[in-house]
Structure 1
């Protein structure tokens, strides 16, 4: 136990001394644009791309200037995105024809050239911009899917916390050596899973009675009035699921609940129609089978080194 404590002490100390240029291992710093970029090769809609970048602590990238355009073109080389092009952060979703980047830069101030016969605003429903590997752009339907690039601009005096992230809402608990964050903006279970993953975390997995008590204490810090837009306020999503097998409960990391914490609330699980397949956690500190489509608060768990480069 003492050696484990010393390990975490020195690891946390090392993290606290890391400067912001190490933001997270899956982003690469580029000197020309004074920030970090990450290519997402799995295509997504514009809204999902914007959200994923936001959850990762970045913005959906736009070719704001000539240097930035060159960096993006180089990023696309030898990838799936070189053939398809990428979504940019340039959009007119708020006002038809008024294209701006996520940061608010108007398209007219960017050194970009339209592809031949673009823009065409096909079916009066093309409010997003894709950039191709040659640097030209086209307007497209925002519900189409394309790869995309996320960008985070370097800022002064920004350092990683003891949890190895720039997100200060994660807090290390010495009882488990993990970091936890309660999300009070309610989402359905799938979005909750995505949010935790984007933050370098995962929906919390409860391993024993002590960890259940820890999460109960965390939940108590957020009264019902602070949870926004929920269907239910006294349950939060956590990291277990039936994986399509009714009442066979398994963590999102593939372990049976029988190997960890398995105490359900009285009269739970009850599998209310149309079916409850997702893991929930009552304020009482006990488990619930929850409706996956409901919007509820949720708890993310993160190891302190999950976003650090193993080679650093």
Structure 2
């Protein structure tokens, strides 16, 4: 082949064009992130509620109410257990009180007055003053003063000894107790015979009552047990208000026409401010009846 006829062919150069980059797409949020944020917010609110004292108060109240409902199942609705007082209390009575003596020791009366459960609180207190012819209760003066300062209506009682002269027992009692307007009537506590005949007991008791009534202008209250009343007093002192002891019963088993106003239904109550078990009492009437009974 002739060299002149041979044509030179230049190599073909291919230019590589760089590929176009796609614009970066925006990062998508994972599904459900909004729901998580809402859940976190709800949990925070829930924690605030749970940590609130108001919440705990509500829960505890609900729990205690439910527990009471369970424990009271099958029991009488007229004789419900009040756990803070430690005893069943008849629910048909609105005015409640206690009676105390040296046996209860030193009492914190403001704590007694502040105690309350479902509107049951201590509105009155009978306080032992004297016994027989010589004994003054060592806590009487303090209890008489401090209970009244705490806003509790007070009455004083004398433990009667049938062997002793009734008139002189009355004089001894009146020497130690000075009644004022707003006090409960004086009380004579008669629950023993001390070996004397029932007629002799009634004779001396009548002398005591007449002396106290003529001096104070107030009919004394007679305190006694239900059996003692039925055996020895029924029909003899019908004109005087009665305070009857009859324990652990749903109702006092005496007709209301008997003339009783106070019922000592328990001797094992636990009371704030008192370190020993205490007698617990109910008043038969309403607030107006209670006011009418007080010394003027």
Same fold (TM over 0.5): no
Greater relative contact order (CA < 8 Å, ≥ 6 in sequence): 1
Q: Which has the higher helix share?
A: 2
Q: Which has the larger radius of gyration?
A: 2
- TM (norm. structure 2) is 0.24
Q: Which has the higher strand share?
A: 1
- TM (norm. structure 1) is 0.23
